[in-house]
């Protein structure tokens, strides 16, 4: 599995709904990849989704994102990415 | 402006170039809801497809025909504040973007679109909408 780095996900997009507290940071390719071609790996409460054939990460998802990432709507994208990478790295 | 979806989705071609403005529609229980334009966040937390008039003017279809409806249980302070002021429900639709038949839809064969509505005694209106990837 390729590592998640700030270079990897700097251009990824973010979806966050504060009312469901679901957060996703993703490479748009993930929308165009069928489920059978995707794998997933749990990293603590986060889920890392990757392309099976290349082992390339395409998305990180958090439920209860406020608890694990902080007040996303009031954070810079740089700070969000820092927290995402920090969380994923700290969970193996 | 009030939008009636009895004829189905509003075609992409019909709303191109239109200003994105608020409108009213009925939810799946017949309640009148005002659909508000989405405010882009300061960071890149939204996708350009959400700025398309077809995305905005068809959100009422999700409210009228959701696949799922979930109450807000978030501990986010912004969510908690709204929960104190009224009922907050999120309407979820699978494959919404593809249903719009926009040229850019085909980048999104798999999506889950969520529209959150706040209901109060005086006014029902949307708080946000988001596109997510469903993968499991």
Residue pLDDT tens, chain A, 92 long? 788 888 889 999 999 999 999 999 999 999 999 899 999 999 888 999 999 999 999 999 999 999 999 988 888 889 999 999 999 888 87
Strand, helix or coil for residue B115: strand
Query: What's the pLDDT tens digit per position in B40-66?
Result: 655 566 788 888 999 999 999 999 999
- As a whole number, the mean pLDDT across chain B is 91
CB atoms B136 and A35 under 8 Å:
yes
How much is the average pLDDT of B72-90? 93
Query: What's the pLDDT tens digit per position in B85-115?
Result: 999 999 999 999 999 998 877 778 889 999 9
Residue B96 to residue A28: CA distance in whole angstroms: 16
Interface check for B79 against chain A (CB to CB < 8 A): the answer is yes
Residues of A with CB under 8 A from a CB of B: 13-22, 24, 26, 28, 30-32, 34-35, 38, 40, 49, 59, 64, 66-67, 71-73, 75-77, 80
Residue B94 to residue A44: CA distance in whole angstroms: 27
Contact B34, B123 (CB under 8 A): yes
What is the pTM assigned to this prediction?
A: 0.92
The pLDDT of residue B41: 56
């Amino acid at each position: 599995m390729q590592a998640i780095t700030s270079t990897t996900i700097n251009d990824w997009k973010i979806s966050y709904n504060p009312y469901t507290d679901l957060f996703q940071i993703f490479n748009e390719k993930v929308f165009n990849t069928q489920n059978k071609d995707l794998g997933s790996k749990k990293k603590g409460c986060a889920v890392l989704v990757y392309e099976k054939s290349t082992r390339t990460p395409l998305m990180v998802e958090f439920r209860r994102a406020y608890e694990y990432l902080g007040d996303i709507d009031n954070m810079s994208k740089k700070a969000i990415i820092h927290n995402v990478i920090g969380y994923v790295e700290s969970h193996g | 402006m009030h939008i009636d979806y009895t004829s189905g989705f509003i075609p992409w071609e019909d709303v191109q170039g239109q200003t994105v403005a608020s409108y009213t529609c009925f939810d799946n229980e017949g309640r009148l809801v005002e659909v508000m334009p989405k405010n882009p966040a300061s960071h890149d937390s939204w996708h350009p497809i959400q700025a398309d008039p077809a995305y905005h003017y068809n959100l009422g279809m999700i409210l009228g025909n959701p696949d799922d409806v979930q109450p807000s249980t978030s501990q986010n302070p912004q969510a908690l504040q709204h929960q104190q002021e009224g009922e907050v429900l999120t309407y979820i639709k699978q494959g919404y973007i593809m249903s719009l038949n926009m040229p850019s839809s085909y980048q999104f064969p798999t999506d889950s679109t969520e529209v959150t509505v706040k209901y109060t005694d005086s006014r029902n209106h949307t708080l946000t909408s988001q596109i997510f990837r469903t993968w499991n």
